Amino acid sequence: MAKILIVTTSHTTIPGSDERTGVWFEELATPYYAFIDAGNDVTIATIRGGEVPIDGRSLAETPLPASVQRFHDDGPALEAAHHSKPVTAVTATDFDAIFLPGGHGTMWDFPNNADLARAITAMLDAGKLVAAVCHGPAAFIGVTRQDGSALIKGRSITCFTDSEERAVHLDDKVPFLLETTLRSLGAQVSVGPDFAPHIMQDGNLLTGQSPKSSEPLAHAVIAALKRAPAKAA
């Protein structure tokens, strides 16, 4: 049994919009159950602790994704999501993998977050897995190597694309375009069709493009955990 830490945003508002933001529910629920059903132990944390904020758009899907409905009906899962630990209260290296769901809330409290950056670098330095989907790779902004260079410089990753941001009409609401920013930091960003499953793995760093990528990314994490321990990134 592996121990997996899921860390979500704590941010709830989009300036200039009356829509509630936070984590994209499916990107939390689908990996959560993929990990649980594979026999792993899962802990949910957030940037500030407390209730996991849910992006309102992710509750408007009809019908709701099966994993989201399952989460709604799961008392222990709801308890964990209502009373999450702050990321400062967990020791990342106590876990075998860290998984970072997206949702637009991450665009405000994931970048340049010293606590999250320490968790990411500690995991990679220990040869453990770091995975992020959709807007989750915003966590890599501000994370540096020992020589001061960007962690993702030269790394092959994917993320929610500029094209997808324009398609959901939030390109003028977010503080920056994620794909463009990650490219500016030297990342080799691989882009698939809009809103289609697309994942990348570069050593111990695994990423997914959009919500449809959360399930294949979770299974890629499970597969990686079953293999021999990876070398430090």
| pLDDT digit string (tens) for the chain, length 233 residues | 999 999 999 999 998 888 899 999 999 999 999 999 999 999 999 999 999 999 999 999 889 999 999 999 999 999 999 999 999 999 999 999 999 999 999 999 999 999 999 999 999 999 999 999 999 999 999 999 988 899 999 999 999 999 999 999 999 999 999 999 999 999 999 999 999 999 999 999 999 999 999 999 999 999 999 985 544 44
Rounded distance between C-alpha atoms, residue 80 and residue 40, angstroms: 15
- For residue 65, tell me if it sits in a domain: yes
Query: Among positive and negative, which fits the CA dihedral 90, 207, 184, 12?
Result: negative
- For residue 56, tell me if it sits in a domain: yes
- For residue 233, tell me if it sits in a domain: no
- For residue 232, tell me if it sits in a domain: no
- Cβ neighbours around 146 below 10 Å, total: 7
Helix axes 75-82, 25-37, angle to 10 degrees: 130
> Residue 12 belongs to a domain with what CATH number?
3.40.50.880
> How many domains does one find in the chain?
1
Compute the residue count for the chain: 233
- For residue 162, tell me if it sits in a domain: yes
> What backbone torsions phi and psi does residue 86 show, to the nearest 5 degrees?
-70, 150
Supply the range of the domain harboring residue 44. 3-226
- For residue 231, tell me if it sits in a domain: no
- For residue 74, tell me if it sits in a domain: yes
Rounded distance between C-alpha atoms, residue 74 and residue 59, angstroms: 16
The predicted structure's pLDDT at residue 17: 82
The predicted structure's pLDDT at residue 117: 97
